[in-house]
Structure 1
């Protein structure tokens, strides 16, 4: 089964040879000491980094398998690939226009990625991160949170009976463990932890956020799940995330903006001519006609 999935994946990889060549071009060199030889084919060495590159190109379902399960199949395919490549070189296929064009395009994509990575790294400065962080905090102000516990039952009369017990001094956590049909929360004495208003169904959220700290609902709160008795344990304003916590998200957003700006800069300094698929000039866009004096302008 493993070999069948693996070989199918390798056939797909063969069909995407350009992408694989581009990936190999951009892979960082690995020190020899950390990249042992895993096979030799007529004296030519294959290294652990070759295994890593091949595995990285396989479907997720194969990548998730323990390396021990697929290692033999990987080595087998690497050896086969090396033999085929050597045969192709002997046939002087590397000198053909088709292969040279393919290699050139793969190299170009690798250079594109390297250039973009270089520019992104240079432009994501600490100042840029700090400014992005402040903008993030303005766009995502801390929300109010409630920490509450609840007891959930099916019938309203059961909920009212529990409220009556609580009024007489009953222990909320004990009653939650005994009577709540929310078995997960019941194990914690009904504790739901902190939550924002939009995290709960509307009737429950409205009731909880309207209550004071330490208050227990005087009437059952009905939702699609049944009838709730709510106890508000605490209220707070959600703590703002630190820069380190949102740094990956900020870097991703900055990277997209930087790439867009970079392409705009390059376009601004370039002479660009485009043609139709047959090589003929692109049709000129006709300027929009101005509305006549007696015609209303389109909204």
Structure 2
């Protein structure tokens, strides 16, 4: 199965590479700036030994970074495979691509209008990404991050958590009999292992760990959060799963995440907002004209009719 997926992915990549000439005849629309900044466009070159040559095609070097870029374009399930397994097929495809490109240069296609147009559009996309990245990096300041973090804490207040155990049975009479045993000194964990219909919790003596109120079904959550630490339910609690006997072992306030824990999430949201603001600011000072697909003027929007004044009511 994996080999079939990988072969299909490589064939698709090869087809895309060989279809570039046809694609260039129909210029692609320039995409909107990416919401999340791309890696630096002008990163410092890595040391030579950090990016070794893995092949040469008529003297032109193919580097390990070329392999990594191609692998990054493959489907996720293929990317998860060990590189050693897919490397032979990837290097073969890179060699084929180099040979096709070399043939195109020898045919003097690099100077054709179609290729020049495609190169210009690729350059434009790279400049877009670099500009967005520059703006994002300059605007996400420590003060902005702290402001976003404080807003996050307000929107996600600390919640109360309960640590509880339960015994689940099918019938109310069974549950009441277990409660009676517990009142006589029965061991809750032992009874949970012997009688509970919840196999996962039963293995842990009925323990459910800590949970917030919204993570449990309503009747169970209402009962557990109304109980005190150390208390066992005096009456069985019915849910769609059966009848529960609940023991509350602890209560606490859920700790809120630190800035470092939510920093990637906050940076992503700030980046999206910054991109929107950058584009909005650029449009405010730009002269933008749009036309219909055939190049004709856009139809003018008709103004909404003014509301009619109400006639006075007759007595």
Query: Aligning the two structures, in what range does the TM-score lie when normalised by the shorter sequence?
Result: over 0.9
Query: How far apart are 1:54 and its partner, in Å?
Result: 0.2
Secondary structure in structure 2 of the residue aligned to 1:170: coil
Q: Match for residue 7 of structure 2?
A: 4
Q: How much does 1:156 deviate?
A: 1.7
Q: What CA RMSD, in Å, does the superposition of the two structures yield over aligned residues? A: 2.3
- What is the aligned partner in structure 1 of residue 236 from structure 2? 220
Residue of structure 1 in register with 2:60 after alignment:
44
1:1-299 alignment runs, 5 A limit = 1=3, 4-11=7-14, 13-14=16-17, 15=19, 26=41, 28=43, 29-294=45-310
Using CA pairs under 8 Å that are at least 6 residues apart, name the structure with larger relative contact order, 1 or 2: 2
Please give the per-residue CA displacement for 1:242-271, whole angstroms capped at 9, x wherever unaligned.
Answer: 111111111111111100111111111111
Q: Give how far 1:11 is off.
A: 3.5
Q: TM-score, normalised by structure 2?
A: 0.88
Please say if residues 25 and 110 of structure 1, whose CA atoms lie closer than 8 Å, have aligned partners that are also in contact.
Answer: no
After superposition, give the CA deviation of every residue in 1:172-196 in whole Å (9 maximum; x if it has no partner): 1111122212121122211111111
Higher mean C-alpha deviation, range 167-176 or range 7-16: 7-16
| Secondary structure in structure 2 of the residue aligned to 1:117 | helix
Q: Which SS does the other structure have where 1:38 is aligned? A: strand
Shift of 1:13: 4.1
Cα 1:223–1:12 change in 2 (3 A) is farther
- How many residues align? The count is 294
State the secondary structure of the residue aligned to 2:186.
Answer: coil
Query: Which segments of 5 or more consecutive residues in structure 1 lack a partner in the other structure?
Result: none
Query: Partner of 2:34 in structure 1?
Result: none
The Cα of 1:25 is off from its aligned counterpart by: 9.8
* Structure with the bigger percentage of helix: 1
| Separation in 2, partners of 1:124, 1:12 | 41
For the Cα contact (< 8 Å) 2:40–2:130, is it kept in 1?
no
State the alpha-carbon separation in 2 of the partners of residues 48 and 236 from structure 1: 52
TM-score (norm 1): 0.92
Q: CA separation of 1:108/1:202 partners in 2, compared to 1, >3 Å: closer, same or farther?
A: same
Q: Distance in 1 between matches of 2:200 and 2:66?
A: 48
Q: State whether residues 198 and 205 of structure 1, in contact with CA within 8 Å, keep that contact through their aligned partners in structure 2.
A: yes
Report the Cα offset of residue 294 of structure 1. Answer: 2.6
Once structures 1 and 2 are overlaid, which stretch shifts more, 110-119 or 180-189?
180-189
5+ residue gaps, structure 2: 32-37
